[in-house]
Amino acid sequence: MKLSTLMRSDIDELYSNFDFLNDVLLYADYYKKNFTDKPLNVTPADAYTYQGNLFGLFTKMGLPDYLHLPVMAYNAITSPVEYDGTITTFYMPSQDIYNRLHNLN
């Protein structure tokens, strides 16, 4: 089952593929050391405001919808509603990582 069946129909299938998201988690430590783009910093006020609404925070930060799940997985967050505001720095994989993982799937 693909997440795209549960979400908007215009989302890129790669980013909603369970195998792709699993690979993001599996290789996250290696990629964080070697291929991470600059960190995404959150203000303490935004972290507090968006407790329990990680996707809302990502939207406010300007992150496209199709990157919400991969960035969440890359930062080892299992549920967007469990965001408690304590994490104020998120790491976003570089486009090179998506290309490499796409070739694995």
**Cα–Cα distance measured from residue 5 to residue 26, given in angstroms and rounded to the nearest whole number:** 24
The two structure tokens encoding residue 79: 């549920």
Mean pLDDT of the chain: 76
> Could you tell me the residue ranges of all domains in the chain?
12-104
Q: What is the pTM of this model?
A: 0.67
Cα-flanking dihedrals φ and ψ of residue 64, to 5°?
-60, 150
pLDDT value for 88: 95
Distances (CA, A) of 103 to 69, 75, 77: 19, 21, 24
The two structure tokens encoding residue 26: 């599996």
Does the structure show a pLDDT above 80 at 14? no
Strand partners, 40: 90
pLDDT value for 10: 44
